[in-house]
């Protein structure tokens, strides 16, 4: 996409940078390495107070433990709906480096992976996940995650292991007892049996589900009845005999009630199915049952409805959004329960999580306070929605992809060309702020498929990564001229209105302008946007904006990726723009100043009714184009009265005529992304340089997002209405 494509590893098959540009990258990399030294005891991963994650992995450690690798990624639950995703790191000198965020408050788990198959644990992170030896965790603090934090000292309960026997097999469970638990005297405690699911470990409820912290905090707040919680791995009690043995073992070892009214059961995934089977098909054992992404779809009959209702105080169902495999199962289960006449509660569809611990933590927080007490609220959690029928993407091979569903869910599907591939991901700008994540796809017959979301209304671009080689989605007709492997799609909504097409016939026009370059010694092309109602014979020439692309891009990118036409069309129709012409030239030359002033500008004036008056000329660019723009400002102060640079830097002030810049520039406006835009340190240094020199400029704070189009589109949206109004 661009020279500074931060946070992404260019897969094999992507064209290489020129030697000149590569030299510039190495110079910048040396500074970044100096800013982020990687020593043995330095944490690889750090989290800022506002949720940005910075990652710096020593290349020497990678090589020593993995050998030579071409790609390094941090895999974790960073994706949409907290899905598992790969975040590619970029080699910067002697480290693999990246920054991601802002992440929502919550618990995250991750591992470091090289070349798709070589995994290792972060040795600088002391956290562990017993069932996944390569995983580490970190907590992003925030009000919505306050129950996931450790309880104040002395206010937490205890977790211990209970060994018990089922037939001839020795098994164990984890048991949480609340602070102040008394093994003798007083009232017995009610019991919640909490399942982890057949494909998960009991320890996952502690390491990933934060069950101890949740129970400790809720207990400290007085939000739950004092109870004992028994956690199993889901591979034990799956029938009456197993469950009976566990319940007896708990009753023998702890001061608990043994009657139905004081017994509850819940679980995740298959553990939720087990919980429902135990409660619904064996009435009399439990008064409370909770299913967190449970997959049970049958087993409830009319004959058992009355008996079930007499014995059950609560059946509460939970599901994530359509990315949760339990979503359709829950649709079918609710129909079966209604048909059988069984009363139940539904927590509503969690719009922001799938089948993962982010959802199940919330489920536990909602479920436990409802146990062994009267509650007045029986409805869904705040922000949760209704089931809307089963989610059924189109059958394989029947439609071009991606397929965008209601609510911003997007289904990607490959052709059958990769049926023998080992690892396929979809790489897109779907991370926070528009950073790039690779979401693993699953094999579906001879194709690979995945549904991601919900994605906010916006403009997205993506490609397949097939066994570390980038490939275009051949089923998507969109194209990006400068990056042939990328495809695009659009999610409509108010947030993305300015990036959408205006009604036919109401917008401006984009035309190609061919001109001869005496720098490149060849004919070259620019794209030119003219506003609605453009009059080539108007007495007063139009003001003109010369808008430049970044390195690795070309004159087509502002239209194909930057959505410049859509932005300018909308802002023009909204009455926000001074009618102007926008010229998007090709800046890939050895002498941009000469190319602009001797070739692009004269060609634009010869073919379009545009002004040559400096007060009616503007120049702006992104990344490399921004550096070129500021270079013109320094070399030819006053030539363009309006100047703007996106994600760029000024450089040193040697030989700069400050008075000429200030006197000849009506507006100098600067933009940069957040800390995930790795140009930000150089940009901030430039602000200091310019301030010390006395150059007047405008800077309205960072634009949320990385060094990418999500930021630059917002920059153009902000800039264009400011031009030619002073």
Reference 442, options 424, 460, 428, 415; nearest CA is 424
Distance between CA atoms of residues 210 and 199, nearest Å: 18
Task: Give me the pLDDT at residue 306, please.
Answer: 54
% of the chain with per-residue pLDDT over 90: 82
Q: What pLDDT digit, counting tens, does each position of 553-573 carry?
A: 999 999 999 999 999 999 999
Q: Which residues 6+ apart lie within 8 Å of 72 measured at CB? A: 9, 57, 62, 88, 89, 91, 96, 112, 113, 114
| 3-state SS, one letter per residue, for 286-324 | CCEEEEECCCCCCCCCHHHHHHHHHHCCEEEEEECCCCC
**What one-character DSSP code corresponds to residue 77?**
S
Q: What pLDDT digit, counting tens, does each position of 166-207 carry?
A: 777 888 999 999 999 999 888 999 999 999 877 788 999 999
Q: What average pLDDT does the structure give for the chain?
A: 91
Task: Give me the pLDDT at residue 209, please.
Answer: 97
The region that residue 505 occupies, defined by phi over 0 for left and psi between -120 and 50 for alpha, beta otherwise, is left
Average pLDDT estimate for 63-84: 96
Q: Chain centroid to CA 409: how far? A: 13
Task: Give me the pLDDT at residue 39, please.
Answer: 44
Domains contained in the chain, CATH given: 19-141 (2.60.40.10), 147-370 (3.40.50.1820), 403-491 (2.60.40.10), 500-722 (3.40.50.1820)
Residue 12 has pLDDT above 80, yes or no: no
For 340, other C-beta atoms within 10 Å of its C-beta total 18
Half-sphere exposure (Cβ direction) of 453: Cα atoms closer than 13 Å: 24
Q: Sorting pLDDT into bands at 50, 70 and 90, what band is 1?
A: very low
Task: Give me the pLDDT at residue 536, please.
Answer: 97
Task: Give 150-156 contacts, CB < 8 A, sequence gap 24+.
Answer: 150/213, 150/216, 151/213, 151/216, 151/217, 151/220, 152/220, 154/179, 155/179, 155/216, 155/219, 155/220, 156/212, 156/213, 156/216, 156/220
At what angle are helices 270-280 and 302-311 packed, to 10 degrees?
90
Q: What pLDDT digit, counting tens, does each position of 297-346 carry?
A: 766 655 455 555 567 899 999 999 999 999 999 999 999 999 888 899 99
Task: Give me the pLDDT at residue 289, please.
Answer: 95
Tokens 């450790």 found at: 150
Task: Give me the pLDDT at residue 29, please.
Answer: 38
Tokens representing 23? 């030299």
Task: Give me the pLDDT at residue 242, please.
Answer: 77
Tokens 């990328």 found at: 486
% of the chain with per-residue pLDDT over 70: 91
Task: Give me the pLDDT at residue 280, please.
Answer: 83
Per the CB < 8 A criterion, the answer to whether 664 and 641 are in contact is yes
Q: Sorting pLDDT into bands at 50, 70 and 90, what band is 401?
A: confident
pTM: 0.90
Tokens representing 275? 């919980």
Q: Which residues 6+ apart lie within 8 Å of 407 measured at CB? A: 321, 322, 351, 453, 454
- Which stretch of 17-26, 60-69, 272-281 has the lowest confidence by average pLDDT? 17-26
Average pLDDT estimate for 514-535: 97
Q: What pLDDT digit, counting tens, does each position of 678-710 carry?
A: 999 999 999 999 999 999 999 989 999 999 999
Average pLDDT estimate for 507-535: 97
Reference 558, options 338, 404, 717; nearest CA is 717
Give the neighbor-by-neighbor strand order of the sheet with 403-405. 403-405, 409-413, 447-452, 442-444
Phi and psi (nearest 5°) for 519?
-90, -50
Half-sphere exposure (Cβ direction) of 370: Cα atoms closer than 13 Å: 25
Residue 30 has pLDDT above 70, yes or no: no
Task: Give me the pLDDT at residue 21, please.
Answer: 33
H-helix or E-strand containing 64? helix 59-66
Q: Which residues 6+ apart lie within 8 Å of 64 measured at CB? A: none
H-helix or E-strand containing 27? helix 19-35
User: Distances from the Cα of 85 to the Cαs of 79, 121, 357, 448, in angstroms?
Assistant: 5, 16, 15, 16
């Amino acid at each position: 996409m661009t020279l500074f494509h931060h946070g992404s590893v260019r897969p094999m098959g992507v064209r290489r940078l020129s030697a000149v540009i590569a030299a510039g990258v190495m110079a910048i990399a040396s500074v970044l390495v100096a800013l982020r030294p990687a020593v043995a005891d330095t944490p690889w991963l750090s989290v800022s107070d506002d949720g940005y994650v910075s990652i710096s992995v020593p290349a020497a450690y990678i090589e020593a433990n993995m050998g030579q690798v071409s790609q390094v990624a941090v895999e974790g639950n960073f994706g949409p709906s907290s899905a598992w995703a790969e975040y590619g790191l970029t080699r910067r000198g002697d480290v693999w480096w990246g920054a991601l965020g802002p992440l929502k408050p919550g618990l995250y788990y991750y591992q470091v992976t090289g070349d798709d198959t070589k995994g290792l644990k972060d040795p600088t992170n002391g956290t562990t996940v017993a069932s996944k030896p390569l995983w580490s965790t970190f907590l992003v603090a925030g009000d919505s995650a306050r129950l996931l934090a450790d309880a104040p000292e002395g206010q937490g309960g205890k977790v211990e292991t209970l060994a018990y026997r089922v037939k001839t097999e020795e098994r164990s469970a984890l048991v949480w007892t609340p602070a102040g638990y008394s093994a003798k005297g007083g009232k017995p405690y009610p019991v919640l049996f909490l399942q982890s699911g057949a494909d998960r470990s009991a320890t996952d409820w502690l390491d990933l589900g934060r069950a101890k912290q949740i129970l400790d905090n809720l207990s400290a707040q007085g939000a739950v009845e004092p109870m004992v919680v028994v956690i199993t791995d889901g591979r034990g009690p799956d029938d009456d005999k197993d469950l009976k043995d566990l319940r007896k073992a708990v009753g023998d070892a702890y001061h608990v009630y043994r009657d139905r009214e004081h017994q509850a059961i819940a679980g995740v995934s298959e553990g939720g199915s087990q919980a429902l089977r135990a409660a619904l098909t064996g009435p009399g054992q439990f008064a409370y049952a909770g299913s967190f992404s449970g997959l049970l779809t049958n087993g409830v009959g009319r004959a058992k409805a009355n008996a079930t209702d007499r014995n059950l105080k609560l059946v509460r169902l939970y599901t994530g959004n359509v990315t949760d495999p339990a979503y359709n199962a829950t649709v079918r289960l609710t129909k079966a329960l209604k048909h059988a006449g069984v009363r139940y509660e539904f927590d509503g569809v969690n719009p922001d999580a799938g089948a993962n611990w982010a959802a199940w933590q919330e489920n536990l927080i909602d479920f436990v306070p409802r146990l062994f007490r009267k509650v007045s609220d029986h409805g869904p959690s705040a922000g949760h929605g209704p089931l809307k029928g089963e989610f059924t993407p189109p059958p394989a091979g029947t439609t071009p992809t991606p397929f965008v569903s209601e609510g911003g869910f997007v289904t990607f599907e490959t052709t059958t060309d990769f049926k023998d591939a080992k690892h396929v991901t979809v790489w897109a700008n779907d991370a926070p702020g528009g950073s790039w994540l690779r979401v693993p796809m699953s094999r579906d017959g001879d194709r690979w498929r995945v549904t991601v979301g919900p994605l906010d209304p916006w403009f997205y671009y993506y490609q397949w990564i097939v066994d570390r080689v980038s490939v275009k989605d051949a089923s998507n007709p969109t194209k990006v001229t400068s990056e042939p492997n990328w495809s695009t799609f659009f999610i409509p909504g108010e947030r993305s209105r300015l990036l959408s097409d205006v009604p036919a016939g109401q917008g401006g026009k984009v035309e190609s302008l061919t001109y001869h370059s005496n720098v490149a010694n060849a004919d070259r092309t620019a794209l030119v946007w003219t506003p609605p109602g453009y009059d080539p014979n108007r007495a007063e020439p139009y003001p003109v904006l010369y808008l430049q692309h970044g390195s690795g891009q070309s004159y087509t990118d502002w239209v194909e990726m930057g959505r410049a036409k859509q932005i300018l069309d909308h802002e023009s129709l909204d009455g926000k723009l001074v009618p102007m012409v926008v010229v998007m030239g090709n800046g890939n030359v050895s002498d941009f100043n000469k190319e602009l002033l001797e070739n692009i500008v004269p060609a634009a004036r010869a073919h379009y009714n545009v002004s040559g008056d400096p007060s009616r000329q503007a120049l702006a660019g992104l990344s490399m184009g921004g550096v070129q723009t500021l270079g013109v400002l320094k070399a030819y102060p006053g030539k363009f009265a309006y100047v703007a640079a996106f994600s760029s830097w000024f450089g040193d002030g040697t030989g700069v005529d400050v008075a000429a810049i200030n006197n000849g520039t009506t507006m100098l406006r600067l933009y940069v992304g957040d800390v995930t835009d790795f140009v930000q340190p150089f940009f901030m240094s430039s602000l200091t340089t310019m301030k010390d020199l006395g150059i007047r400029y405008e800077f309205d704070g960072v634009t949320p997002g990385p060094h990418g189009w999500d930021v630059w589109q917002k920059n153009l949206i902000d800039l264009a209405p400011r031009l030619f109004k002073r």
